[in-house]
C-alpha cells in the first residue's frame, strides 16, 4: 500500500515518493536499510517515470540541477554509510533551514541563482536522510517550468540522485538479495502507478498541480520537523 501511494504521488507531482516510502521502510527494516531499499525502488520507479515523461523532460534547463544533485547525493550517501544514525537529525534541521531560506528568495534572478545550491543540498540531504525534503522541489520550481516539464525534470533529477545513492549503498552492502526480490515484485506496481499518476497530472490543470506540489512540500516539511 505504501509503495503504491509513493509511486502514484511521485508520478503525478514528479516527486514525493520518498515522503511515503522512506518512513515505511525505515520502520520495517531499520533506518539505513530502509533508506537504501527506498533508494533502489525509487530509482527503478524513476526509470518508468522518465519513459512516461520522455517528451517533456527539459534536459538543457535541468542539466545543472541533475549534475549537482548527483554530486550532493554521493556526498550524502557516503556520510550515511559512515555516520551513526543519530546524525540524521542534523541533516533534517539543515534541510528545513535551507528550504525556508530558498522560499524567501523572491526575485526570479535570485531564485535561479539559488537553484544550483539547493540542488546540491537536496542531493546531500537525500543521500543522508533518505529524503531531500522540499529542497529539490524548490530548486526545480525556480526553473519556472509548466507542470508537464516540471514533472519531467523532477523525474530525471530524482533518478540521478536515487541511482547514485543506490550504487553507493550497494557497494556498502546495505542492499542484499532480499532487496532485489522486493524490487522485482514492485515493477508491475511501478508501471501501473506511474501511468495513473501521469493521467492525474494531465487532469488537474496548472492550479490543481500547484496545489498538489505545495501539498507535497508541506508534507515533506512536516515530516522533517516531526522527525
Burial of 155 (0-12, 13-18, 19+ CB in 10 A): buried
What is the sign, positive or negative, of the torsion defined by CA atoms of 171, 177, 179, 184? positive
**What grid cell was written down for 30?**
531499520
Residue 172 to residues 33, 34, 43, 53, Cα–Cα distance (Å): 11, 14, 17, 32
Encode pLDDT of 19-69 as tens digits: 677 777 777 777 778 888 888 888 888 898 899 889 999 999 899 999 999
Top pLDDT among 103 and 114 is at 114
What confidence category does residue 92 fall into, taking pLDDT thresholds of 50, 70 and 90? very low
Residue pLDDT, tens place only, 132-165: 766 777 778 778 888 788 888 988 998 999 999 9
Nearest alpha carbon to residue 215 among 137, 130, 126, 120: 137
**Where in the chain are the domains?**
2-226
Q: Range with the lowest mean pLDDT among 27-31, 65-69, 100-104, 214-218?
A: 100-104
Amino acid at each position: 500500500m505504501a509503495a503504491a501511494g509513493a509511486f502514484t504521488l511521485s508520478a503525478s507531482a514528479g516527486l514525493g515518493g520518498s515522503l511515503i516510502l522512506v518512513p515505511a521502510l525505515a520502520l520495517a527494516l531499520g533506518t539505513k536499510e530502509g533508506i537504501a531499499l527506498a533508494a533502489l525502488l525509487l530509482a527503478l520507479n524513476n526509470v518508468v517515470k522518465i519513459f512516461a515523461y520522455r517528451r517533456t523532460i527539459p534536459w538543457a534547463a535541468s542539466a545543472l540541477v541533475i549534475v549537482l544533485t548527483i554530486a550532493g547525493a554521493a556526498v550524502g550517501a557516503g556520510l550515511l554509510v559512515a555516520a551513526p544514525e543519530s546524525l540524521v537529525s542534523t541533516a533534517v534541521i539543515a534541510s528545513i533551514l535551507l528550504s525556508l531560506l530558498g522560499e524567501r528568495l523572491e526575485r526570479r534572478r535570485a531564485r535561479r541563482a539559488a537553484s544550483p545550491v539547493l540542488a546540491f543540498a537536496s542531493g546531500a540531504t537525500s543521500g543522508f536522510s533518505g529524503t531531500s525534503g522540499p529542497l529539490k522541489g524548490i530548486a526545480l520550481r525556480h526553473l519556472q517550468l509548466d507542470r508537464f516539464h516540471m514533472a519531467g525534470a523532477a523525474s530525471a533529477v530524482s533518478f540521478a540522485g536515487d541511482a547514485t545513492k543506490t550504487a553507493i549503498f550497494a557497494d556498502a552492502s546495505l542492499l542484499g538479495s532480499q532487496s532485489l526480490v522486493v524490487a522485482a515484485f514492485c515493477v508491475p506496481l511501478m508501471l501501473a502507478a506511474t501511468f495513473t499518476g501521469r493521467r492525474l497530472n494531465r487532469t488537474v490543470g496548472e492550479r490543481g498541480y500547484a496545489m498538489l506540489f505545495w501539498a507535497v512540500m508541506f508534507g515533506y516539511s512536516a515530516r522533517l520537523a516531526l522527525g
